[in-house]
Amino acid sequence: MTTFNLRTLRLRSGEQFQDAKEIQLEPLELGGQRYQPVPETVPAQLTITRASTGTVFELGFHVRLHGPCFRCLDDAVLDLPISAREYQATAAEGDEELKTPYLEDDRLDLSAWARDALALELPDKILCRADCAGLCPVCGKNLNAEPHEHDEYESDPRWSALAELKDRL
């Protein structure tokens, strides 16, 4: 877990601090599948700006994620630029919107923040390629490697009563 101690900073209103950090990322579980960041430690740019009413935190990094394709289960690689911003008000008593969940006891949890920012940037479906054909619903073969069609589709015998009803109507 990568953290940053804010007690080392002495920023006044309007001042800014920038630093390059190495952030350790953990694998993500998405849709029952595991997606691994490669490498597990990524270089990131941390910017802290002191405002008159609070502090603005900015984090930017680039991550490469490896895991299974949603359609064909082959290896998919996703390159994502991540840019995140958080705000912590100086006097935020009772108002959760003015607090960042990544700051506790003057320690900024960069790993948790980076994980959540990465999860927000993920597409709806992680694919090996944009035109992935997926798996054949009948035989389960990868349609990208072996495009084919089945001549006769065998229906599930549990639907036979409905098929008979359809034939009668």
pLDDT of residue 153: 67
- If you average pLDDT over residues 154-168, what whole number do you get? 84
- If you average pLDDT over residues 18-22, what whole number do you get? 94
Q: Which range among 7-16, 65-74, 120-129 shows the weakest confidence by mean pLDDT?
A: 7-16
pLDDT of residue 36: 95
pLDDT of residue 166: 85
pLDDT of residue 21: 94
Range of the domain at 24: 3-132
Single-letter code of the amino acid located at 95:
D
The pLDDT mean for the chain works out to: 90
Number of domains in the chain: 2
Q: What is this structure's pTM?
A: 0.79
pLDDT higher for 76 or 2?
A: 76
Structure-token pair, residue 162: 């409905």
Please give the full DSSP string across 89-139, using - where no structure is assigned: ESS-TT-GGGS-TTEETTEEEHHHHHHHHHHHH--SS--SSTT---B-TTT
- Residues 76, 159: one domain? no
- Residues 16, 65: one domain? yes
SS3 57: strand
Percentage of residues of the chain with pLDDT beyond 70:
97
pLDDT of residue 94: 64
pLDDT of residue 151: 76
- Residues 76, 158: one domain? no
pLDDT of residue 70: 94
- Residues 78, 45: one domain? yes
- Residues 32, 103: one domain? yes
